[in-house]
Amino acid sequence: MSLYGGSKAALRHFVRSWISEVKERAVRINVLSSGAIDTPSLRNALARASGEENVEREVKRMGQGNPLGRLGAPREIGKAVVFLSSDASSFVTGIELSSTVAWPKPASPVRT
């Protein structure tokens, strides 16, 4: 996970640098960071990893790790892309739009 997290941090930094470099061209650059999305690719990977019979259980388990208690749908991410591509976001640049990112679970109390 450290490489994944580091890569995402690097991408955010690149975006912030790039917007300064392209400002004269009226180009907007943003980052869309989604949580897990319920796609055929995800379900195929889960089937290979844990067996076809366990896919629904794994999808549900993964969804419990984010604030909405479910995985996202491709259409929901598409709507975010449409927003960032539209005139409605004409003054939005250099942001990271996060959707249903998993939050860390609170630590269990230490018993002595």
- Positions annotated as catalytic residues are 4, 8
Report the C-alpha gap between 99 and 77 in whole angstroms. 8
Answer for the pair 37, 74: CB distance below 8 angstroms, yes or no: yes
- Give the alpha-carbon dihedral of 86, 90, 96, 99, to 10 degrees: -40
